[in-house]
Structure 1
Amino acid sequence: MALDDIALEELGLAPRWVRKGVAIAAHAGAQDVAADVEPTARVAEAAAAQRTVEPAQEDAVREARAARSQQAARFEAGPASTVEPQPESLQEAKATPAISSDEPPPFTEDDFAWFDAVAEPALPADAPAPPRAPRDDIAALDWDALSERVAGCTRCRLCEKRTNTVFGVGDREADWMLIGEAPGENEDRQGEPFVGQAGKLLDNMLRALSLERSQNVYIANVIKCRPPGNRNPEPDEVARCEPYLQRQVALVKPKIIVALGRFAAQSLLKTDGSIASLRGRVHQYEGVPVIVTYHPAYLLRSLQDKSKAWADLCLARDTWRGAARVDR
């Protein structure tokens, strides 16, 4: 019997009847062939045994092959292809990344979801309001509030050694405003600007113009506290104190300002020019005409410059009269 016929007979597909001679010959040949086939069958069985895998592994292999086929198909179809659902076993394998036992699990957005849900603690009904930053509202103060603010001022370190603040004195609705530099020893003691011999000389200068300290004249200083040793004030001290002077000018609304001394002129006009370069001209401060002249204390030491100071006061008087005519 041929090898094909033997295989068919083993599978149950051989004919049920054969000729007698053929059957005898086939039986004899089958014994010979079986001797040859038996070693081959053993080899085939051993190879098949090596290829045998567990059913669960066969399912995983088939699913992996199917997944690779689907990925290849999507790649060939392009980005518009529809992603088909994957087997649950593969989805679980992809969704669960391998995490080392030595490393902490990665954070996710859900880990902090509780933080947003925590309500802020409510303040008690009688709890005081949180303190507010102090406002620099000097420009809105009236005379009394401004005077009180200057008396308690601690904006710079000059407050540490003062005896009194020197706010100002005179007619608060005056046309003339005289501005000096800073209080001296006598001013610090009495709390009033231009006292002592320099104050007496200033009063004489005002009388020459038919003016008085308490009538149509207001007198103030750039700095409200005495610098130690009568030194010149520092730039930061001027900057911290200037809002008080600006408010005084705004409240008085003078027609003319006379700057007494180099420091007062430089502070008002924001310049480092000398008295000689600033005299004889009309300047402006906060929209008000400014005339620069010598400080009365300087004139006590330099009598020859009194005539120059008188010329400056005459220029101030003419400027004031011109402003008065314009207002009419």
Structure 2
Amino acid sequence: MVADTAAPLLEWDALERAVRDCRDCRLCQTRTQTVFGRGNKQARWLLIGEAPGEQEDKQGLPFVGRAGQLLDNMLSATGLDRDQDVYIANVLKCRPPGNRNPSGDEIASCQNYLIQQIRHIQPTLILALGRFAAQTLLQTEKSIGQLRGKLHSYQDIPLIVSYHPAYLLRNQPDKHKAWQDLVFARNTFARLQDRS
């Protein structure tokens, strides 16, 4: 995902409206509503997931189902408050039908919205949750296993890769690895804060 810094940066409210009114791909035909994001726009942590699921599509907010509850618990255990310390967005702003994997053209259609969110928030650290978020941001085909445990960079912003909470609900043994990722992220963030 290459940032289009030539594109004019929309004001936050205009960006939200553009997402809400978007008809750039076929997902606009099946969505209940778009899911822009949630949290603190001045947060230093930006968490990026894949796409809205059924509950997110109904409520218009990311990570509100069982995966969201798990994410909240993980953030809380790390000492982070979901509404104050982080901003949460997705690569896609609309739910793919049946929660299927996003297609390349859908990711491309939504790309500028996420780039604009990142440019607005200017986070200290990005946490990419799941394969699609990691592969999209890092422009790679590598697996989560190959990407975890390392400090990456997106547009000079430090980026750490971890599992998507929905995956963890289905694969309980990997929760320990996800906790290791969060500890790594917390320690990295502390080092970054010390430098600033």
Report the equivalent of 1:262: 131
Mapped contact 1:168–1:218 kept (Cα < 8 A): yes
Choose which of 98, 116, 124 in structure 2 pairs with 1:247. Answer: 116
- Aligned-partner SS, 2:56: helix
| Residue in structure 2 matched with residue 143 of structure 1 by the alignment | 12
Contact 1:139–1:243 (Cα < 8 Å) also in 2:
no
**Match of 2:67?**
198
3-state SS, counterpart of residue 289 of structure 1: strand
Partner of 1:164: 33
Give the 4+ runs in structure 1 shifted more than 3 A: none
Mapped contact 1:138–1:244 kept (Cα < 8 A): no
Larger Rg: 1
Unaligned runs of 5+ in 2: 1-5
Name the structure 1 match of 2:161: 292
Q: Residue 225 in 1 paired to residue 94 in 2?
A: yes
Aligned to 2:194: 325
TM-score normalised by L of structure 1:
0.57
Gapped regions of structure 1 (runs ≥ 5): 1-136
Q: Distance in 2 between matches of 1:231 and 1:272?
A: 18
CA contact (8 A) 1:164 1:188 kept: yes
Alignment match, 2:3: none
| RMSD over equivalenced CA pairs, Å | 1.1
2:147 is aligned with 1:271 = no
Paired residue for 1:176? Answer: 45
Query: Given the two structures, how large is their TM-score scaled by the length of structure 2?
Result: 0.94
**Which residue type is aligned with residue 55 of structure 2?**
N
Aligned to 1:282: 151
- Would you say how many aligned residue pairs link Structure 1 and Structure 2? 191
Identical counterparts, % of pairs: 59
State the one-letter code of the partner of 2:167: Y
Paired with 2:27 and 2:15, the residues of 1 have a C-alpha distance of: 18
2-structure distance, mates of 1:138, 1:207: 36
Q: Distance in 1 between matches of 2:19 and 2:173?
A: 37
Structure showing the higher helix proportion among its residues? 1
Q: Which has the higher contact order (CA 8 A, sep 6+)?
A: 2
Deviation at 1:138, TM superposition (A): 5.7
Q: Secondary structure at the match of 1:265?
A: helix
Deviation at 1:257, TM superposition (A): 0.6
Matches within 5 A, 1:15-54: none
SS at match of 2:159: strand
